Chains A and B, each alone.
Chain A
């Protein structure tokens, strides 16, 4: 076509569509240029210099910072560019502690895979001997600055997407470090433990704090009875870890794997999620009818609750007094099961498999302890579960399916839509409307932005307005309006775990995950406005 805008990449003609930078065009042409600091959701940083290409007449440029122009002649594999990439990786390998076999990121580390891919077979530079101290303060995350490549992804994610800004660069030059203010630990600053920094970190500099060994220890301890709850979002995520399709049988296989790992009882958090919805809906109707503090903000997301505690103390009364499903489960389990099984509370270990690192933090909160004994003893993320399964040599895709334990194994279906951002809001409204005599409220989306969506539902009590926010920034932006409820009501939820516990880069696959819910007959999500 004559007036189509094109450029050439290594001699091949490629069309420029809506791409804002050359890197996107190159990737569209199926050339996976290496990058550390480029992230489509974040501002462009241009620091790792791995995406450099040569443009005829312009010389070397970083493709992530270059606007594609028609007629550009781009070369991605010149001798110069290749040497530069290799040299950069070699330099990074000598920049700190990059002892792969002992690193928790080994196998999924970008630096490791690029070194292999680019054929960096030796490091001719000397690495520093002195090690910077690690940060173990957070119940959810571990930071190891000696592995950091200073790509700034975590810094920008925390500030630009989550709107928190706990991490930043400190010092300069070769002394540069990424750290919380005043070199404090993550637990000593306003970190909400959402774990998105760990999700974006290409190397092992921020890792989820693993509790796998504690889980094994509990299982091995003959005095302990170990029960596990599995959050609804896990089923979609675990399949990813094993490259398996996520289908009707996934939950059955998870149950099967957990039993093989030695857990005594396996329950579904959906059960308590239903309780949460029921309680929260009751609370909402009560507040609405009795002039209580509105809007009501859900308490399900511990990261959001923590953010509110730090930044919006004025809305603390708006937050629902209900426990989140995880804690609801934990307190019920610790209350009911010891009696049922005839054991002491201390000998019951409640493990949860959760999509989000903040759940580790939530479980460790003092409010959720009885005489120092927590309702939920330890929390494993999807990745930790996957690691345990691999570690044990269990061939997940080939497992027979097994069924969940009773009595916590019943559910209504409302809980399963929980893990989609907005799910809980919708479920609460549905339930509340039902209690008010309106069986099938029509929920209408009135506004949709990237990280913030609004709905209305008409009920016998009048119109109810809902807002669903997707990330910390969205939560922040909703604050002002949320404070003036009038006769409307808001349900709000920070969406940090709205991604099914998948790292954000897997976000695009959300759709297919939603289809899985649909195909699960027990969790019919017909009427779910976003599928």
Chain B
């Protein structure tokens, strides 16, 4: 009894926002995708404990939650950097040289092999299949700002500018 009482406030403090999200979807397990989206909005990624919590609250297995979380490419299982740089690699951007931008930025950000986020958690570099801004190919999105008709130099300049703003 004793532990239950002392633990309860702790858990609810940690998970108040998750609880609110679950509440707003009426604990309906068919709303798992939007629930995870909302959770990710809150934490910027999907922490394992939160996924387990969501599974328990929705009365489904954690394996199912993990299965859904790993199926969709928007869900991140690791924290992302402060600036998420998404380079469009849709057909239009691809034929207009988006790969060059990826190569140059990987180099510029000195990303360790196989990693998407810089060790200082400032930048995350991702490619996306299409942003639907094909008219502006190649397109680069930094957080929510779309930049059209980019090339490697201009993208690098944007990164440099952010670094300056961040005092690097």
Number of A residues with CB within 8 Å of any CB on chain B: 16
Chain B minimum-CB-distance residue to A169: B67
B60, A172: Cβ atoms closer than 8 Å: no
CB distance from A160 to the nearest CB of B (A): 12
Number of B residues with CB within 8 Å of any CB on chain A: 14
B residues in contact with A167, CB < 8 Å: 63
User: Does A279 make an interface contact (CB < 8 A)?
Assistant: no
User: Does B81 make an interface contact (CB < 8 A)?
Assistant: no
A159, B61: Cβ atoms closer than 8 Å: yes
- The winner among B55, B60, B64 for most chain A CB atoms within 10 A is B64
- Binary interface encoding of chain A residues 217-230 relative to chain B, with 1 for a CB under 8 A from any of its CBs, else 0: 00000000000000
A168, B64: Cβ atoms closer than 8 Å: yes
A165, B70: Cβ atoms closer than 8 Å: no
> Considering the chains assembled together, what is the distance between the CA atoms of A181 and B77 in angstroms?
12
User: Does A189 make an interface contact (CB < 8 A)?
Assistant: yes
Chain A minimum-CB-distance residue to B55: A181
Task: Say yes or no: A171-B71 contact (C-beta < 8 A), given A181-B52, A182-B66.
Answer: yes
Kindly identify, within residues 4 to 24 of chain B, every residue whose CB is under 8 Å from any CB belonging to chain A.
none
B67, A170: Cβ atoms closer than 8 Å: yes
- Binary interface encoding of chain A residues 144-188 relative to chain B, with 1 for a CB under 8 A from any of its CBs, else 0: 000000000000000100001111111110000001111000000
A180, B70: Cβ atoms closer than 8 Å: no
User: Does B65 make an interface contact (CB < 8 A)?
Assistant: yes
* A–B Cβ pairs within 8 angstroms, 14 of them: A159-B61, A165-B61, A166-B61, A167-B63, A168-B64, A170-B66, A171-B70, A171-B71, A172-B70, A181-B61, A181-B66, A182-B66, A189-B62, A190-B61
Kindly identify, within residues 45 to 66 of chain B, every residue whose CB is under 8 Å from any CB belonging to chain A.
48, 51-52, 55, 60-66
B71, A165: Cβ atoms closer than 8 Å: no
Could you say which of B51, B63, B67, B70 contacts A189, with CB atoms under 8 Å apart?
Answer: B63
> Considering the chains assembled together, what is the distance between the CA atoms of A164 and B55 in angstroms?
13
> Considering the chains assembled together, what is the distance between the CA atoms of A180 and B66 in angstroms?
9
> Considering the chains assembled together, what is the distance between the CA atoms of A171 and B68 in angstroms?
8
| Chain B residues close to A by CB (< 8 Å) | 48, 51-52, 55, 60-67, 70-71
Could you say which of A159, A164, A172, A180 contacts B71, with CB atoms under 8 Å apart?
Answer: A172
> Considering the chains assembled together, what is the distance between the CA atoms of A170 and B52 in angstroms?
15
Task: Say yes or no: A182-B61 contact (C-beta < 8 A), given A168-B67, A169-B67, A171-B71.
Answer: no
A181, B62: Cβ atoms closer than 8 Å: yes
Chain A minimum-CB-distance residue to B71: A172
Kindly identify, within residues 123 to 138 of chain A, every residue whose CB is under 8 Å from any CB belonging to chain B.
none
A182, B62: Cβ atoms closer than 8 Å: yes
A residues in contact with B63, CB < 8 Å: 165-168, 179-181, 189
A170, B61: Cβ atoms closer than 8 Å: no
A residues in contact with B66, CB < 8 Å: 168, 170, 181-182
B residues in contact with A168, CB < 8 Å: 61, 63-64, 66-67
Q: Ordered nearest first, which 7 A-B pairs have the shortest CB separation?
A: A165-B61, A181-B62, A168-B63, A168-B67, A181-B66, A181-B63, A170-B70
A residues in contact with B65, CB < 8 Å: 181
- Binary interface encoding of chain A residues 376-402 relative to chain B, with 1 for a CB under 8 A from any of its CBs, else 0: 000000000000000000000000000
> Considering the chains assembled together, what is the distance between the CA atoms of A327 and B110 in angstroms?
59
B residues in contact with A190, CB < 8 Å: 61
B residues in contact with A172, CB < 8 Å: 70-71
CB distance from B87 to the nearest CB of A (A): 20
A residues in contact with B60, CB < 8 Å: 165
CB distance from A13 to the nearest CB of B (A): 44
> Considering the chains assembled together, what is the distance between the CA atoms of A441 and B166 in angstroms?
83
Could you say which of A165, A171, A179, A189 contacts B64, with CB atoms under 8 Å apart?
Answer: A165
CB distance from B33 to the nearest CB of A (A): 14
> Considering the chains assembled together, what is the distance between the CA atoms of A285 and B60 in angstroms?
38
CB distance from B25 to the nearest CB of A (A): 21
Q: A181-B51, A181-B52, A190-B61 are in contact. List 9 more A-B contacts (CB 8 A).
A: A164-B61, A168-B63, A168-B64, A168-B66, A181-B62, A181-B63, A182-B48, A182-B51, A182-B66
CB distance from B129 to the nearest CB of A (A): 13
> Considering the chains assembled together, what is the distance between the CA atoms of A181 and B71 in angstroms?
13
A residues in contact with B51, CB < 8 Å: 181-182
> Considering the chains assembled together, what is the distance between the CA atoms of A166 and B66 in angstroms?
11
CB distance from B167 to the nearest CB of A (A): 37
> Considering the chains assembled together, what is the distance between the CA atoms of A180 and B64 in angstroms?
9
- Binary interface encoding of chain A residues 114-126 relative to chain B, with 1 for a CB under 8 A from any of its CBs, else 0: 0000000000000
B residues in contact with A165, CB < 8 Å: 60-61, 63-64
Chain B minimum-CB-distance residue to A175: B70
A residues in contact with B62, CB < 8 Å: 181-182, 189
> Considering the chains assembled together, what is the distance between the CA atoms of A164 and B52 in angstroms?
15
A residues in contact with B61, CB < 8 Å: 159, 164-166, 168, 181, 190
> Considering the chains assembled together, what is the distance between the CA atoms of A117 and B67 in angstroms?
34
Chain A minimum-CB-distance residue to B66: A181
CB distance from B29 to the nearest CB of A (A): 12
A residues in contact with B64, CB < 8 Å: 165, 168
> Considering the chains assembled together, what is the distance between the CA atoms of A164 and B64 in angstroms?
11
